[in-house]
Amino acid sequence: MSAPAPVTPEQRERLLRLATRASVATALLLIVGKTVAWLMTGSVSVLASLVDSVMDALASLVNLVAVRVSLAPPDAEHRFGHGKAEALAGLGQATFIAGSALFLCLQAVDRLLRPQPLTDIGVGAAVIVFAIVATAVLLAIQRHVIRRTGSTAIRADALHYLTDLATNASILLALGLGHFGYDGLDPLFALGIAVYILKSAWEIGAEAVSLLMDHELPAETKQRIVELAREQHGVLGVHDLRTRQSGHTIFVQLHLELADSLPLAVAHAIGDAVESAIENEFPGAEILIHQDPVSAVAQERRRMLAHQMGERAGR
């Protein structure tokens, strides 16, 4: 499958708004349906799914605000833009999800200690089937948006709903077993759901922290940036590559090694060519390039090598 075509800032904004609004609408719809199902069945597994949907709704609302903030252009107080609002939203979502998982654990343990029979299982099962269908539709929308935009916030939100598919399937199984008299398995399924949700919270939180700490881009992305730079006529080498990501914007800093005799205007033109090549493959990237004469680079490398050899001799 070919890679999706780059999106313009306007297209990205429309896609992100579509995904966040669809997420909020779906979460609110599922809350209503699962509340009815829980009140009619008394199933702690359905309660687990209801609590998860409430957390999803809160997280989706956070996403809605975060995406709106992240799309704001740079201003005098935020010269690098507002992209990290997405990572902050992801961190907030991880907290919401972990809290819901701990609540579910408490409810499941209470039900294990004080068992209660399930009622109106058919109604509960019908609501859960509806939840599975609605979640699948939302995931299809989110995956399209993620594929086109690479949004961290939407990816985190989609992870919620992906866990929903698994939890709702397990709830159907728990209700089915309850229909045949195995009510005691219902809280055990709820505990399993809670553990799965905690795992999701850890993954979302780890990714958000990575972005907030300006973690380097993947090795293959960095290698591609170096290749693009070296492909330009006049570039003799590349060093001191630094990368990070803030929201949908990637930041690239690198040093080009150029011939000593190049006029300043020619060196500037080579830098522009490198910048254009990188931006064509990574639309919207913020790129900072420093041109070094190759003789100065060689001299610095010799100095560093001599320093390292001196340290080793002194040990």
Check residue 1 and give its pLDDT: 43
Question: What mean pLDDT comes out for the span 93-106?
Answer: 76
Query: What b/e readout covers 30-62, taking b as 16+ CB neighbours within 10 angstroms?
Result: bbebbbbbbebbbbbbbbbbbbbbbbbbbbbbb
- pLDDT band at residue 246 under the 50/70/90 scheme: confident
Copy the structure tokens of residue 121: 């299982």
Residue among 262, 297, 256 at smallest CA distance from 278? 256
Q: Is the pLDDT of residue 3 over 60?
A: no
Beta carbons within 8 Å of 190's beta carbon, 6+ residues apart:
44, 45, 47, 48, 104, 107, 108, 111, 174
SS3 per-residue string spanning 13-79 = HHHHHHHHHHHHHHHHHHHHHHHHHHHHHCCHHHHHHHHHHHHHHHHHHHHHHHHHHHCCCCECCEC
Per-residue pLDDT of 139-190, as tens digits, reads 999 998 888 887 766 877 787 777 777 677 767 776 677 666 665 666 777 7
Q: In whole angstroms, what is the distance from residue 190 CA to residue 155 CA?
A: 25
Determine the residue type at 95: T
Higher pLDDT, 257 or 212: 257
Is residue 266 a contact partner of residue 234, using CB atoms and an 8 Å limit?
yes
- Whether residue 269 is predicted with pLDDT greater than 50 in this model: the reply is yes
> pLDDT value at position 259?
95
pLDDT of residue 115: 67
What pLDDT, on the 0 to 100 scale, is given for residue 181?
Answer: 64
Residue 168: Cβ within 10 Å count: 28
- The CA radius of gyration of the chain, in Å to the nearest whole number, is 26
- pLDDT at 45 exceeding the cut of 80: no
Average pLDDT over residues 249-256: 92
Reported as a pLDDT band with limits 50, 70 and 90, residue 101 is confident
